[in-house]
Structure 1
């Protein structure tokens, strides 16, 4: 009897030590106690990878690193840096664009044609919401244009609609492995008639802390446009992006699309878009029927002649929407239609500005909504346009411009996005200071909000531009609250 009492006391003390606090309520069923809710806590470590920028001798690449300054990143303690993805040698290299404090962006410029992919990590107070923008300008020759992409977190699966193996395109799948073991990757290509026959059944191996670049046209025998590329990682994890180079329309990065869903949002088609090509793929075993709407500045409309879209299972469907925006900024909305059950799909837009020999193209994949906060790091005065869309209910959004790389102070303002509309505007510049700055978007109230940023850097009469979608930065994670459960002592 005494031994049982001592054991119970010892177990109770151990439970108290493990949970940080223990409350003994005496009689009563533990199941009657109120459930403890989970709480959001800032992440302690973030990882990003950036693809190798460009092989052109005329390429100039700027990396902009930034962590928002807020409650979850108030402390200055921490590190954030980028290292070359060159195996063991990369770990000994000098860090690129090291970040020292939240709230102030840091930039670094690279002009080597053989610049490597980068592996980035942030810890402590610089980890929550850490983002890096890679912006490359190629002034002339093959691949000329502005190639922009947000460096991505490594993952195990990616979808890239709107890729191509056609004769006028050279699309390279770039893979970066941040981990200490080799990664094994499978790649599938799908077109309007289904899966394309591969030239080899072998998987691709990405070396430890290294990268690989694969020309998509070497993976299949067929020359086809409007493809969907499916990347799955058999072992390990990678970051992935497709560099699309068009012989006439310039070049840009095609980022991975949002996960398959029954409804898709493409926020931020520029008002002067001369052509918009939509590519949708249904990865499941069922066909998808979708309604197509355009969220304009004044409300949602249905594009004439493109009211609905039927997507066959395991096949891509492409639609030429032309100059769908008609001189006003807009966002494309796809929702499930018909009497059948909603079917998940993936999609992306290829957007063209300009005419004739002075055309430039960019890609806008389907984008997830912002839960807590989203950031795009590289913005420039009179060159950036922020686009916000509220597909359902009206939303109030807080937009914050950071200090610039050369001084200044942040500026914040709240804007209202009316239901079913797109709000496009130049984000406020920092108060004084010069250089690049970051823009952070935080929903305040109302319905879901989706966002993107267009960066326009015209050159020689060509409207060069790039679009970066703004998904949630996942700067916080849900941590369940723990409490002792004395019922385990009954067993």
Structure 2
């Protein structure tokens, strides 16, 4: 996805104010007096935006929101005002889960089915998970089918690394199970391999506009034989949400489908909610941007089924498939490679490929062309009528730091993968919602391996906590968190990857050049 860098202009303007006249320079250029200009520095971002989709259409759904900000240790150097101030909150977006348009439903009014949880679907609704300080998570809940999509911002000291986790339990019906997603930054381009319009699937694409002006969105759907459907010029009003059933956009059922979302005007948050008649459901997050090499981290050790779905937006792609485990990387038996035709979706079932050990899948171009692709995994746990599914999209590496919220004392597993060079990371669990103190551990991930660890538990507190991974040295690191709950023998679970939180922005160096005053 494209990433929007915030506050760069403001930072440069501030530097100009300090120096009188600022000459923006690269790290190796000379300033006006012949001295070398300093290299670009990273300053904490001053504003972050997130979008959370409408959690469920089920009357028996129960949703927990957990918000957290690790802040930034260097924030004080950016100015005392930023260090002292900051706010973060989410507000309900207008619109209904079926995409029928804006609604105006009062908070906690009772539905016809007797369930509660409907919130005022306007920007005047009560704020959700408002944060007051970094380092301590807060939670909020919503019950039933009426919970709205949410949009919001964090600024000041709470902006760097602001994270919100949405976790929903659905006890019965199509898509029952544990549905989790990290609320995402709005953007203009998304790829969703591993969607489906098969007869046993009900997949919805959720589009949420966080801004006051309208957004216009195009959808393209690609199956095994190429283009399978489309929808153009979808209007998403300002601060509203629209959800579309994918099967209404295809002429024939598609078992494996790739959805491409493009905003031609404005920006949106986009997520696919996948519901299976027999295998439960979960949120399918967007894949990392198309690239010739991808990492899909966090396959549970007890996975009973793994399906790889890939799509090549341009030319044909030949991919080498490797499984990274605790002792190194191997080639899955019978699945050493995957050929993906340009403009078509390819899929392969890998079965119980991990064989009782945690793992991650590594895809690399083997055609010498470096053809970019997108990819995702559908993971199945359990057997018979006690099966559940989750999804792992290709995930970008953690350059500096990544965070995931809503970890539990039981059932949380952190997976770390170093696909190239050996890497060293620090894993910090925050204080819990019920208090306590943070706890940290340092891990070394050998080149080509994957390790899975229970996050360190905060001392002296109960409740949910956040986990932050900081890369200290070495090569790229990819991470994912599995949250698992068992209910009536059903192994409910959800998996979230940890992208870099982009808590800083690179600001070009500014040197004093008084000669500019002579012009």
Q: TM-score range by the shorter chain?
A: over 0.9
Distance 1:16 1:469 in 2: 42
1:282 counterpart (285, 306, 312): 312
Shift in Å at residue 202 of structure 1? 3.7
Q: What SS does the corresponding residue of 2:487 show, helix, strand or coil?
A: coil
Structure 1 pair 15/202, CA: closer, same or farther in 2 (3 Å)? closer
Instruction: Tell me the equivalent position of 1:9.
Output: none
Structure 1 pair 247/73, CA: closer, same or farther in 2 (3 Å)? farther
Question: Any unmatched runs of 5+ in structure 1?
Answer: 1-12, 22-27
Alignment of 1:206-355 (within 5 A): 206-284=236-314, 286-338=315-367, 340-355=368-383
Within the alignment, does 1:18 sit opposite 2:18 as a pair?
A: no
User: Residue by residue, what CA displacement relative to the aligned partner does 1:362-383 show, whole Å, maximum 9, x if unpaired?
Assistant: 0000000001100001100111
Within the alignment, does 1:432 sit opposite 2:460 as a pair?
A: yes
2:492 counterpart (436, 448, 464): 464
Q: What SS does the corresponding residue of 1:208 show, helix, strand or coil?
A: coil
Distance 1:167 1:373 in 2: 41
Shift in Å at residue 413 of structure 1? 1.4
**Is the contact between residue 280 and residue 316 of structure 1 (CA under 8 Å) also seen in structure 2?**
yes
Shift in Å at residue 268 of structure 1? 0.8
Distance 1:141 1:373 in 2: 38
User: Residue by residue, what CA displacement relative to the aligned partner does 1:29-85 show, whole Å, maximum 9, x if unpaired?
Assistant: 949542431100001011000000001011000000000144045735211111000
Instruction: Tell me the equivalent position of 1:95.
Output: 127
Deviates more, 1:173-182 or 1:68-77: 68-77
Q: Which runs of 4+ in 1 moved over 6 A?
A: none
Equivalenced residue count is 470
Distance 1:104 1:488 in 2: 48
Distance 1:14 1:329 in 2: 53
Instruction: Tell me the equivalent position of 1:36.
Output: 38
Instruction: Tell me the equivalent position of 1:400.
Output: 428
Shift in Å at residue 90 of structure 1? 2.8
Distance 1:20 1:110 in 2: 51
Structure 1 pair 370/14, CA: closer, same or farther in 2 (3 Å)? closer
Distance 2:48 2:517 in 1: 39
Instruction: Tell me the equivalent position of 1:179.
Output: 211
User: Residue by residue, what CA displacement relative to the aligned partner does 1:88-126 show, whole Å, maximum 9, x if unpaired?
Assistant: 963322111111110000000110311110011111111
Shift in Å at residue 14 of structure 1? 9.8
Distance 1:367 1:455 in 2: 17
**Is the contact between residue 20 and residue 512 of structure 2 (CA under 8 Å) also seen in structure 1?**
no
Distance 1:432 1:312 in 2: 54
Q: What TM-score results when the alignment is normalised by the length of structure 2?
A: 0.87
Q: RMSD across aligned C-alpha pairs, in angstroms? A: 2.1
2:177 counterpart (124, 132, 145): 145
**Is the contact between residue 76 and residue 101 of structure 1 (CA under 8 Å) also seen in structure 2?**
no
Instruction: Tell me the equivalent position of 2:93.
Output: 85
Distance 1:334 1:376 in 2: 24
Shift in Å at residue 409 of structure 1? 0.2
Shift in Å at residue 141 of structure 1? 1.5
Within the alignment, does 1:170 sit opposite 2:202 as a pair?
A: yes
Q: What SS does the corresponding residue of 1:260 show, helix, strand or coil?
A: coil
**Is the contact between residue 76 and residue 126 of structure 1 (CA under 8 Å) also seen in structure 2?**
no
Distance 2:86 2:19 in 1: 31
Shift in Å at residue 16 of structure 1? 4.8
**Is the contact between residue 386 and residue 491 of structure 2 (CA under 8 Å) also seen in structure 1?**
yes
Distance 1:171 1:15 in 2: 53
Deviates more, 1:134-143 or 1:63-72: 63-72
Q: What SS does the corresponding residue of 2:21 show, helix, strand or coil?
A: helix
Within the alignment, does 1:114 sit opposite 2:146 as a pair?
A: yes
Distance 1:343 1:76 in 2: 47
**Is the contact between residue 42 and residue 128 of structure 1 (CA under 8 Å) also seen in structure 2?**
yes
Q: What SS does the corresponding residue of 1:91 show, helix, strand or coil?
A: coil
Structure 1 pair 73/139, CA: closer, same or farther in 2 (3 Å)? farther
1:358 counterpart (369, 386, 396): 386
Q: What SS does the corresponding residue of 1:225 show, helix, strand or coil?
A: coil
Within the alignment, does 1:451 sit opposite 2:479 as a pair?
A: yes
Shift in Å at residue 15 of structure 1? 10
Q: What SS does the corresponding residue of 2:442 show, helix, strand or coil?
A: strand
Distance 2:23 2:201 in 1: 60
Distance 1:14 1:308 in 2: 56
Q: What SS does the corresponding residue of 2:20 show, helix, strand or coil?
A: helix
Instruction: Tell me the equivalent position of 2:470.
Output: 442
Shift in Å at residue 290 of structure 1? 1.1
Question: Which structure has the greater CA radius of gyration?
Answer: 1
Instruction: Tell me the equivalent position of 2:6.
Output: none
1:473 counterpart (498, 501, 512): 501
Shift in Å at residue 297 of structure 1? 0.5
Structure 1 pair 173/72, CA: closer, same or farther in 2 (3 Å)? farther
1:368 counterpart (378, 386, 396): 396
Shift in Å at residue 485 of structure 1? 4.4
**Is the contact between residue 261 and residue 345 of structure 1 (CA under 8 Å) also seen in structure 2?**
yes
Within the alignment, does 1:129 sit opposite 2:161 as a pair?
A: yes
Shift in Å at residue 310 of structure 1? 1.1
**Is the contact between residue 188 and residue 268 of structure 2 (CA under 8 Å) also seen in structure 1?**
yes
Q: What SS does the corresponding residue of 1:273 show, helix, strand or coil?
A: coil
